[in-house]
A and B are shown apart, each in its own frame.
Chain A
């Protein structure tokens, strides 16, 4: 019989060469989708990370070769389903550039309005889920999440009134937009962004006065300016690392040249810097929407004639790369046309794919709990990573 007093206890010494491999995901609440990180651990410290992606892969690039320029825009919204408007935007811009399509001014304004509303909705979802990831430290965690979802609902209501859909829109078409704004929409939109604007200040107070929040974000996941450019991360991540680059400002497309706004830049490169950039972007986005509503021109919303067949839009031989500043950074569509009704080749530059590829460079050296904070600050959408 075993004498209980004689059982030997093995002391685990994690300072030695022992390593533990831990799977984080594919089903993990902080992954914001299906993502598997194989973490090599030494004690609580991550020493290496192998990112496994592709669980949501649908091969949009092959799919787009089988769909015409009239059909694909509404499918494009399924790449980044949290910011569906931006991917549609990039695709139709690339087709318009090769085909030299005229886009009416009213359509250009409507495009900017929905893109900026989408930015607010996407940032709200990011803020809510990120704060919930960091959990208990933030007063139960779910508080901010529910606040953010409440505000995001209002924007989805606006989209529903405009398009009839809440998540995947099909608002864009080559040559303009498919829908015009209904009666009373402008007033509703103004009221919504005013309300959200006033509440963003509340979130800032809740978070920035919270010592736990600061401890978990400041100095965590630092991306240097050099690394940021070398890996090609974009959007709030790039601007959080001290690079002053925003496509809306540097390469104005659509009607962005008509509006006044500032581009927030932070130099620290950590999770907190990326948070700060996005919080300013909330207000800049609503500023742009207000200006666009004030100056909204009248006239047609599309230069495209009514279609008798889906293969009616043909664009000449050529290639173009069109890019827009989405909530997660540069979303680009590279189309090569052979003169038919479908692209010969279409490449998606998904912002989330490039942004996610920074993880193996910044995670090693951090604790396991920080992986969650860093992942959330990158704001990946796996529909866009895997395409």
Chain B
């Protein structure tokens, strides 16, 4: 599926405006997150899972961002969903893309986002007894951690 077809198909399925850009940014509500992932993989043909991360927009809450690519046709999608203020739950993409497993674990580690139905949600980079989630804007860079600092 080429870029224009992908744009039309995403716009009609999810009822949103998708601007023609590289990469195409597709924003949906959290309840359609998994459906978006499935659509990107099966209909648009973005079978390459690039990365998944999150952004802390302070009082506006967290946003989950994932990037997937269709390597054959050169279509790249930036999938986004705003979880809303105070929400830290999100549907998991692990059952769509196996690569989401470690990326979601990292996201949980760094932002404290709980991915529902993730098969193995635990910290990946920090140790299990670490307090807090470092990439949140509320987490100060010099947060004390005895006995190290």
Q: Is the CB of A62 within 8 A of B135?
A: yes
Q: Is the CB of A321 within 8 A of B98?
A: no
Q: Using Cβ atoms and an 8 Å threshold, which residues of chain B touch A344?
A: 55
Question: Whole-angstrom distance from the CB of A352 to the nearest CB of chain B?
Answer: 12
Q: Is the CB of A231 within 8 A of B125?
A: no
Question: Whole-angstrom distance from the CB of A68 to the nearest CB of chain B?
Answer: 15
**Is B14 in contact with chain A by the CB < 8 A criterion?**
no
Knowing A54-B124, A59-B134, say if A229 contacts B48 (CB, 8 Å): yes
Q: Is the CB of B51 within 8 A of A66?
A: no
Q: Using Cβ atoms and an 8 Å threshold, which residues of chain B touch A321?
A: 23, 67, 78
Q: Using Cβ atoms and an 8 Å threshold, which residues of chain A touch B102?
A: 353-354, 357
Which of A2-10, A83-91, A175-183, A243-251 makes up part of the contact surface? A243-251
**Contact check: which of B48, B51, B98, B127 meets A347 at CB < 8 Å?**
B51
Q: Is the CB of B141 within 8 A of A57?
A: no
Q: Is the CB of A230 within 8 A of B125?
A: no
**Is A284 in contact with chain B by the CB < 8 A criterion?**
no
Q: Using Cβ atoms and an 8 Å threshold, which residues of chain A touch B53?
A: 334, 347
Knowing A54-B126, A250-B71, say if A357 contacts B50 (CB, 8 Å): no
Please report the C-alpha to C-alpha distance between residue A386 and residue B126 in the assembled complex, in whole angstroms: 9
Knowing A57-B126, A61-B110, A386-B125, say if A229 contacts B49 (CB, 8 Å): yes
**Is A368 in contact with chain B by the CB < 8 A criterion?**
no
**Is B39 in contact with chain A by the CB < 8 A criterion?**
no
Q: Using Cβ atoms and an 8 Å threshold, which residues of chain B touch A245?
A: 48, 71
Q: Using Cβ atoms and an 8 Å threshold, which residues of chain B touch A226?
A: 47
Q: Is the CB of B50 within 8 A of A230?
A: no
Q: Is the CB of B125 within 8 A of A232?
A: no
Which residue of chain B is the closest to A227 with respect to CB atoms? B98
**Is B89 in contact with chain A by the CB < 8 A criterion?**
no
**Is A274 in contact with chain B by the CB < 8 A criterion?**
no
Per-residue interface assignment for chain B, residues 102 to 139, with 1 indicating a CB less than 8 Å from any chain A CB and 0 otherwise:
10001000100000000000011111000000110001
- Those of A132-164 within 8 Å (CB) of chain B: none
Q: Is the CB of B135 within 8 A of A229?
A: no
**Is B61 in contact with chain A by the CB < 8 A criterion?**
no
Q: Is the CB of A357 within 8 A of B101?
A: yes
Q: Using Cβ atoms and an 8 Å threshold, which residues of chain A touch B99?
A: 230-232, 354, 357
Question: Whole-angstrom distance from the CB of A116 to the nearest CB of chain B?
Answer: 23
Question: Whole-angstrom distance from the CB of A121 to the nearest CB of chain B?
Answer: 26
Q: Is the CB of A232 within 8 A of B51?
A: yes
Question: Whole-angstrom distance from the CB of B135 to the nearest CB of chain A?
Answer: 6
Question: Whole-angstrom distance from the CB of A118 to the nearest CB of chain B?
Answer: 22
Q: Majority SS of interface residues in chain A? A: mixed
Q: Is the CB of B124 within 8 A of A53?
A: yes
Question: Whole-angstrom distance from the CB of A257 to the nearest CB of chain B?
Answer: 15
**Is B85 in contact with chain A by the CB < 8 A criterion?**
no
Question: Whole-angstrom distance from the CB of A138 to the nearest CB of chain B?
Answer: 32
Knowing A54-B124, A332-B50, A357-B102, say if A230 contacts B97 (CB, 8 Å): yes
**Is A336 in contact with chain B by the CB < 8 A criterion?**
yes
**Is A330 in contact with chain B by the CB < 8 A criterion?**
yes
Question: Whole-angstrom distance from the CB of B46 to the nearest CB of chain A?
Answer: 9
Knowing A61-B110, A229-B49, A332-B50, say if A361 contacts B71 (CB, 8 Å): no
Per-residue interface assignment for chain A, residues 75 to 110, with 1 indicating a CB less than 8 Å from any chain B CB and 0 otherwise:
000000000000000000000000000000000000
Question: Whole-angstrom distance from the CB of A247 to the nearest CB of chain B?
Answer: 10
**Is A349 in contact with chain B by the CB < 8 A criterion?**
yes
Interface centre among B78, B99, B106, B123, by most A CB within 10 Å? B99
Q: Is the CB of B67 within 8 A of A336?
A: no
Per-residue interface assignment for chain B, residues 50 to 78, with 1 indicating a CB less than 8 Å from any chain A CB and 0 otherwise:
11010110000000010100010010001
Which A residues form the contact surface with B (CB < 8 A)?
53-54, 57, 59, 61-63, 66, 226-227, 229-232, 243, 245, 250-251, 321, 330, 332, 334, 336, 344-345, 347, 349, 353-354, 357, 361, 386-387
Which B residues form the contact surface with A (CB < 8 A)?
23, 47-51, 53, 55-56, 65, 67, 71, 74, 78, 97-99, 101-102, 106, 110, 123-127, 134-135, 139, 141
**Can you list 19 A-B contacts with CB-CB less than 8 angstroms, sorted by A residue number?**
A53-B125, A54-B124, A59-B134, A59-B135, A62-B139, A229-B47, A229-B49, A229-B71, A230-B97, A231-B97, A232-B49, A232-B97, A245-B71, A250-B71, A344-B55, A347-B53, A354-B99, A354-B102, A386-B125
For the complex of A and B, the 5 pairs showing the least CB-CB separation, nearest first, are A54-B125, A232-B99, A232-B49, A231-B99, A357-B102
